[in-house]
A and B are shown apart, each in its own frame.
Chain A
């Protein structure tokens, strides 16, 4: 009976596919009308993260092109808040992951997230932002903006015409922070802290910064190719997810995983983390509009819709295949939905978001329960299964569901008459997967040769909290 009910709800969700194509043009035509007349700031619909070459000049109204860019207080306020929201996602992720590991490793996970927050924040100011966003070569930005040289308060038109340049830098900093933090779920419980610190610095420098430049930077070659990535599906999720798979394969399985499952030690932590991630994701996606405008609202709505559809779908899949809907499953689904909608948030409608959300849970569930056991890699907290698979689906879904009716500065996807966009999306995914895997592998091996990445068996048995940090998360007795 319950299964029939679950199947029915799933079918109802999928029925929205039909509605999308029946209703979409009407819905969005109305929605785009105001952008012409009522806009208050120049470059209202333009988002640098849309990654479209030639967008900036066309999106800027004639009046904007002739005078210096003006700071808009509404846009600035929204991006300031979004920056803080995205910052909160890293501690949120720490709790999301921390709840899923054993009691002896929870501080290790929290510590790694906070350490990344500290390290990358400094790296970004010193040279990370310059490598990623300075107008350098197609490969990376060079060092012309090191130490925030030339990054002042006047807006930088090619990225965001209505907010201070330094705010754009700070907003991007939070993305650079959370991306390496996503990876740690794969090697949870078995990497030396010292090796982890070096891995983070090298990975941020040689993997994140170049890929970020390709997709979002001025002159980045994937951007010039026309790849759409609204808020970081390729740069953040696929990039981190594939590096996670690499580390999971090469660091080896956790001890004791052969005959038993390592149980999550505190699921309420994981749910708290999910809630913080969902909340922060409004900054991540809606903030990527880089203004308080229609595009931000669209991203906000589709973000929530996709997360809801995906959380519900995962619960239903659990109900159908594992007898009961589970809290961890629902939370995992919601995160998968947020991942999948990230590249699409500025280009698709809410109904498309439901389809993206429903299907991401199906794909990620398959990756976690079928693919992972089949290949036997120990991706401890399913970073690859959720972030990489979800990110790839999101990037491809952008090529399917993107519509110029939602964002004139974007492009139409396959279902709106532009099959080429899907190929461009697939190319961007392929390039990121290959580059990130190979570059991460080289970094990993270099560190392994110098200092051994994995902790000793004895330390692993006692746990990272006590051996790497000399602390205990919980006391048994006073």
Chain B
């Protein structure tokens, strides 16, 4: 019951956040975003046609009316049709978000799991060669641009210059082998890039935890290393780990991975969002901004509840 009350309170507290984010982004969209009128015009337009098109796009409506309409759309989750393709925004996102999730999640999960594992190893060998090697590799991974990693991995794994094991372009989830063939190289690229950041972050958290008094005391009392790691260190590290993971999820869901999608020809949400931004497709942008804000509120809530789960000392009050 406490948790439910807490959740409701957090959700209510999230409303001003959503309003603030949507108002700010809608203002930017309307006043500084691309004017789609001039994308949609024919080659030889007249002033009347420009006015007609602006009317069709609703650009001639007062700002507050348009913002009110936006909030109504957000409440009903009906954002109408894309200005570019004519497709319903809901179906556009319903089609592309699962692809982005399927594309990025394996790399995200592996990157975090491996990051935690390597961080534990590095932290437990702090100052010795495994630690130095892992940290050096992490810096190496962090210092290479994602674009370069994609390019190199694509050449190496997918083309006749290299191993030629996977397709360069395309996407499929018809069955597991099909999915694996398409997702492997993007996943390797994500892991390669994320691993450095994750390992350094988690190592710092773990090292800090390892220096705490209770850990030193437990170690002095002869607590077995595995138990020490799992019960006294890892559990106490969970809060920053949860924070990092939960706050990355909205970006994965909505943002997808634009570079991966562009390079591998994958029809995910990243491309949809990017094209909406550069073309000024406001119905899609409004949906993306609104959903991202809502997901962040949800992520905040989930994180807070998980804090309580892993550490009962955390008060829901």
Do A and B share a complex? no
